[in-house]
Structure 1
């Protein structure tokens, strides 16, 4: 009876396995004639499944690699398209000028905005030494000076110095995502076909009907130094290559509100003022 029972169970198992094998797509159901025959066929099936599994894994890996290459190629094409579009916009802007317009300085950047402007020149922010008076204004000196008659010996004269960012006691990474301490300041002179230019202190949004040229932070010399102009430094300032040593000269500091004669609100004591340069 035990032998008969074992054979019956064995036959049932073979039938069930045959059904399972058929359900996973085997082309031919196994025929079980003995335990050895069953083990042999099971090993064959397992080997075939492992081979098929490895083949699929390899195909998936190759597909992923192909898609990654396609994505990278797509990014390169997008970058190239963006550059060509920007170049076309610049050409169209230049061809649209009719001789009218206005100019402004973009402090802290070496380029002009892509909004209907052309770059007249780029250069270095400069001015009189912060401790020695003379002229109060900031200047944007070109990179390619030309000379008249000159005498290179130092004499009694007005002097001009380079400019540095002085963002003392602040987390520069909070404002700019990088450190600019003691770095030299670039600038760019830009021309727009729009006739009017207005620097708005205390706002980084232009009023209705005006075009934004750039926005940033209102800056000037320190209130214990000689007087300077207020200028608008771009909210994403750059620095000149090299020139990281503390040479001072003309300095750029944040400008904060001081309540009293200044109305608070809307202004806030100790808060850095924003600015925007707008055209119309």
Structure 2
């Protein structure tokens, strides 16, 4: 398993680093020590040491006991890309989220669905949606500069984490990331939701997770067979019911009606 070194610094130095990022990053990109460490040392700050972690644990693992970490990392990335990242929530294991702070200018739509021409695109970049472009920039320009092992993670996992958090973020709730945590809590639900994210609108995902949330509160579990059937049902009817224009409540009602029919087939 690939190990990644994460620098350990004081909170004071971390605050200094954060405040200085926009002006100084590009100057340090090609330094072998890593741009963050070089910048701190050049300004008389000390790196206290390094913490070695498994590279895969920084972002994602399929092991059930890591579901909470999946959710926390997805939430941290979503906050960073939305300009809402709280420094107090920073942890060594989520250090990579700093990279996201440099890419707000590439997010012309927070949903990440708008396609546009980017005259500043680097060689090899295609015309892709704004969130994918931001994720690519994080991966290729910063993660790989920090440590080549980060490329494997950025290739397939950053987009999934961001998409889950973006689709499940609900500002109307006391905890706007309540459904995000739920999406990662159950491995079966997580698998089904993430496998079909590309086809679901935000209202659909919120509807599915609200349904699961209510079932869990009532003491029932939603297993993989039911989750798979719900997803298949949503895909089958989406063309006729114009799901992209439905509210979360309408989607929720649709799922409940489907569940009633599904239970009768057993």
Normalised TM-score (structure 1):
0.20
TM-score (norm 2): 0.20
Structure with the bigger percentage of strand: 1
Computing the radius of gyration from Cα coordinates, the structure with the larger value is 1
